[in-house]
Amino acid sequence: VIHVGPVGSGEVAKICNNLIAGVAMVAVSEAFRIAEGFGVDPKILTQVISKSSGNTWAMEHGHPVPGLVPTAPSNRDYAPGFMTDLMCKDLGLAVSAARQLRVPVFVASAAQELLRLASSHGLGRKDFSAVYAFLKPSSREAPV
């Protein structure tokens, strides 16, 4: 247990941590879908990134690509460690807190919207790493 400060400080720390975790998982998922599209082996990309500046908890513990981290939810059909709906809620809390402080949070807002879309496509009760499954290339136009 880490004492963060006055009442409510722990909740702030939690939503800030989850902002980073949610954004990182979205970034990892997008990066691996791009690499996959260009034929880069996800196992080799994982080796490269794990030794580089892009390494994250999201890759080391909750890798969204099945078969790369044995304990990751992606190996259990994205059975939740932390549900997409809960991550979306926490990102919403972070975005709301930022608005109160007039702090711009463009990336957190985009990650929240992507997780909301994934949830609306049936992934809300899956682990938030299932955003990778949602990003599977399709005939729909990418919103870039």
Question: Among all residues, which ones are annotated catalytic?
Answer: 14
d(CA 87, CA 103): 20
- Residue 54's SS3 state is coil
d(CA 56, CA 118): 22
Residue 127: beta bridge partners? 83
d(CA 108, CA 24): 10
Residues 93, 114, 99, CA angle at the centre, nearest 5°?
30
Please tell me the total number of residues recorded for the chain in this structure: 144
